A and B are shown apart, each in its own frame.
Chain A
Amino acid sequence: MSADSTVAPRQRRPLRLAEVFLLLLALAGGMGGYAMVGLSIRDELPDSFWWRSALLAATALVAHLVLRFRAPWSDQVILPAVVLLNGIGLSMIWRLEISGASGMAPADAAGNMTASLLGAVVAFTLLWLLRDHRWLRRYTYIFMLVGLLLVSLPLIPGLGEQINGARIWISVGGFSLQPAEFAKIALAVFFAGYLVVNRDTLALAGPKVLGLHLPRLSDLGPIMLVWGVSLVILVFQRDLGTSLLFFGLFVAMLYQATARSSWIVLGMTLFAVGAVSAARLFPHVGARIDVWLHPLDAEQYDREVGGSFQLVQGMFSMANGGLFGTGWGEGRPFQIPYAYSDFIFAALGEELGLTGLAAILLTYLLIVQRGFKSALTVRDGFGKLLAAGLAFVMALQIFVVVGGITRIIPLTGLTLPFMAQGGSSLLANWIVIALLLRISDSARRPSDLPVRGQVSHEREPVLVGAGAGPDDGTPVAGTPAVGSPSPVPDDGTPAAGTALPRRSVSERDGGGPTGTTGSSDPTEQLDPTDPESPRGGDRP
């Protein structure tokens, strides 16, 4: 009876038509911007319009095909959103290039396009080779070492380069790289791999102080070490934006793993202490805060180094853009220093207006939302933590950049993902996208778990109410009286149900803002299918 009564649902591979449609719109957005810049400034289409557009379209097509073959269930919105942002960013960089934007290095649209293509190639090669994101979990501690190494690379004499007071670059064979961008990914993988193994001890063992549940130091040790080392190095490198990013990643992933709000409280406190002392100790941080609070003071505006000139130019730019913008190529965004990298958001604000900026921010929001959605849906704990961590770090980076430009928070030097000029940032963010797509594929793939659709007849479920024949002697150990909490076989053994109140409580935990902890029963079930993963966690 049970064999033929269970019908396997149809498992059709999605055609990904929504992605095709959105990709066409995204390409139209990128190419349209490029064309309009040419038409507006030079009254003709840019020389390289057709082959560059063809290159962008070919990249999108190849990416789409890779997804169709290797990750057919993955999310259909992420790739078009990235293509659109990339196209708009490249158009703006080219627009600034032909009107001679000022800055350290000149705006370089061609170079940036090469970097973006390279990023796409690396990302989709990764997606092709990495069949299962849980493979990364085996190398949890390798990723820790890689992350620390990458963070400390710029401090090595001869390799590191100091630009504008920040020592965050390395130069390899004529190319400059910003290794912290890649360290971000490595550390996210490490945190996810470490926390998925240790989150229970972190959450449950340890003293309670002032109503806050503190973890034991020995459980926290490795993470604190990594976090402390990366922060110290970043302070020495004078890159406070990136250290803020790492700190946020650290706190957010701890919270996602343990669902203890004490982490948020602790994190905010530590952050406040750190921010105040950094402002006191480091003159360049203090100057940033002065600039943030009083940008229009003549003293700040006229200061030669570290003044508010750039910030105020950005504000003028966005004000000039107004609600609908001046249109591609019609504004004067090239007057902002570093308009093509740090301040590309303000440049876009001038030419596309608030309406355009809102659309761009919503596009970012879509990517982040899809990341969190994958985190909620995916069945293994490692994937949940990794997707949530990567999505969070992208959201935080966008907030820090846009908040800095719009004067919500002090300005820190971070790049807007996919838009700002910078090869490392593009490459690293493409890799993040590849990982998110891989995780979303396994999140949305119909599961082959044995639990699916199984109808059990042998086990007797919860007995309720008066008329349900309560005395037919079920083999359930300690059939709970309604209302009394009993040990729940959460490990998936088909033992019994539980009393009702318990159920609703555990459900509420699972439906919390992160959702990464409560649903741990299907989560851990996948692990036996991957014999390597538990061992990966134990590796010293």
Chain B
Amino acid sequence: MRQDHLISAVDLSREDIEAVLDRAAEIDANPAAFRQRHAGTVLGLCFFEPSTRTRMSFDTAMKRLGGQTVDMGPVESSSVKKGETLADTVRVVEGYADALVLRHPSEGAATMAAEFIDVPLVNAGDGAGQHPSQTLLDLYTIRENAGLDDITIGIMGDLKYGRTVHSLAEALTNFDVNQHFISPESLQLPRNVRYDLHASGASVKEHTELDEVLPELDVLYVTRIQRERFPDENEYRKVAGEYKIDDETLAAASDDLVIMHPLPRVDEISPEIDDSDHAKYFEQAHNGIPVRMALLDILLSNDD
């Protein structure tokens, strides 16, 4: 990987992505070979927002590489509560750890934090900005199940605030992927993501109805539409109800359609889909371990 940090999917080249995915495949095939790879290494976990799977999977990934983690703990019990700046927090934790993972509610937090530290930093979500490590495991899952070239993907749900969507759409421009974006008009892609997609030569094909494109999709990436994005409950229910996937919806889909979701889901994918061959979202979540191990391995090796 060319850079010392992973801040945004825009920074990732095809080579960077393939290096991580290939390493993840090696780890998947022979995890024992990596068990002591980073013995003695400490990863700092700084989560200023709640997180279950991202925090746990980075924690597990570091430990499976032989290292350890130090966790800032909840914001309520940290010095952040006393008014400490993010810039100070990361400079302090940098002294305790060999690399940092940061999640923060403000967009641009990871970009700023990286200005203040020298150890590798992974952006584990900055507000409605980016979530590039999620993207790497998404890409790994897509590659395993559908391949990463010559495919058509539909990305559906909250495209405006969904950071996993922003990172995924931008990273996919490195591949021969036909992207469709399906959302209510009020939750379409933000201006800056459109700008990046156009700048990379990708076309932005937007739809308000899934059935306009469903039959041609190889992959459907579903995201949660959040209640708090709507001024009133009725409007939310109306919109959210239109972007749900169940057996009936999938009648028009290809038999090989791969359904993904960054999780947590609420009710946008009916549990009746879970046991079908379409459902890859739990596999996707499990892929967080080898992919984050691969990412840490590469970033920490850069630092050697």
Is B one of A's binding partners?
Answer: no
